[in-house]
Structure 1
Amino acid sequence: MITMKIDNSYKPTTTGLSSKPSAPQTAIATPAQDAVSLSQVAGSLNAGANQPPVNTARIQEIKQAISEGRFKINPEAIADRLIESTRDLLGRDGKHQV
């Protein structure tokens, strides 16, 4: 969970309409005091950002097997894993059961 505090320091100015021109006003800059804090999960996600998310050696093996015609596709295993993955995703949020 990421929490963020937003500071409402903006105060709009209103100027009345008058027939007399007024002197130009100067804006005074005030430093904003915004704060952001990250949860423990966000920190752990950031820590894993330095590692590659995939096995590049395995990808090269598969590419070579495809180019040589040795790669076999198992549609039943793919379907089973897709169904299992869907069940896991739907079961996690507690809203649906397959």
Structure 2
Amino acid sequence: MKIDNSGKVATNFTVPSRTSSKPEKPAAGSNGESVAINPFASRLQGMEQAAASAPGFDADKVAAIKSAIASGQFTVHPEAIADGLIASAKELLAG
């Protein structure tokens, strides 16, 4: 592209066509082709479906924990938390 002194743009630019001249490919499977989904994606989809069918939360349990925290009676067990995190990590990494 060149700009002359008049401020006008002189171009030899052409707009590409939006239509494709490539031949269309046959639908998958019509000539023996197949598609494989990543195993992780399949597991993730299963976990999403399980989470969607699980109840959201137990309001009574939340109220009991909130009350225990407010009264100073709630105790945290770091070993149990660590064990749960390790178990979750092992489950995710298991193939």
Instruction: Judge same fold: TM > 0.5, yes or no.
Output: no
Higher Rg of the two aligned structures: 2
TM-score bucket (shorter structure): 0.3 to 0.5
Which structure has more RCO (C-alpha within 8 Å, separation ≥ 6)?
1
